[in-house]
Amino acid sequence: MSLSLSLSLRPSLETDLPAITAIYADAVAHGSASFELDPPDLAEMTRRRAALVERDFPYLVADREGEILGYAYAGPYRPRAAYRSTVEDSIYVSPNARRAGIGRLLLAGLIEACEARDFRLMVAVIGDAQSHGSIGLHRSLGFEMVGTLPGIGYKHGRWLSTVLMQRPLGPGASVAPTRSLA
């Protein structure tokens, strides 16, 4: 999938991990999308990506002529087998590329990749009820608000509320899942 000649969406590569690690470090240090307090190092980010890719979860990057502007991945919503058809999305955009449509490109591509893998529901766990941009992005791509967990995390000197949104994928819950229990 390509937005323009210079901006493309593609599966991530191991060589993208230094840029991915830097984007996430900024989000951890300065934002509220992640409830981590200390940014993980390259080795930990490499381990996390490998664990998802090995299980056939999509892990995408927005690439502009070799510069990684953002990344997104889907992972298991919960570890128990009954949740096997439900994924949780994560999207992070480089500080110098925000408000340029990168998040929309990533989320739309992630939805498409999850539907191709026959996942049936995507859950967004938005790390701050004040993240109006993220909430609006998810809503614009078919997510519905399902709840808020008030004051569930404390970061940057304030209590944060988590917003929960969800979107059906493919046939959704209208037919039984086909994903294996593995």
pLDDT tens per residue across span 118-128: 999 999 999 99
Distance CA 148, CA 145 (A): 8
Sign of CA dihedral 166, 170, 175, 179: negative
Which parts of the chain have pLDDT scores under 70?
1-5, 181-182
User: Quick one: 110 exposed, middle or buried, by C-beta within 10 A (0-12, 13-18, 19+)?
Assistant: buried
Go through the domains of the chain in sequence order and give each one's CATH number. 7-174 (3.40.630.30)
Q: Helices 42-53 and 17-30: crossing angle, nearest 10°? A: 110
Record the tokens describing residue 20, joined without a space.
């991915």
**The CA-based dihedral angle spanning residues 77, 79, 80, 83, taken in that order and rounded to the nearest 10 degrees:** 20
- Tell me whether strands 158-168 and 121-126 are parallel, antiparallel or unpaired: antiparallel
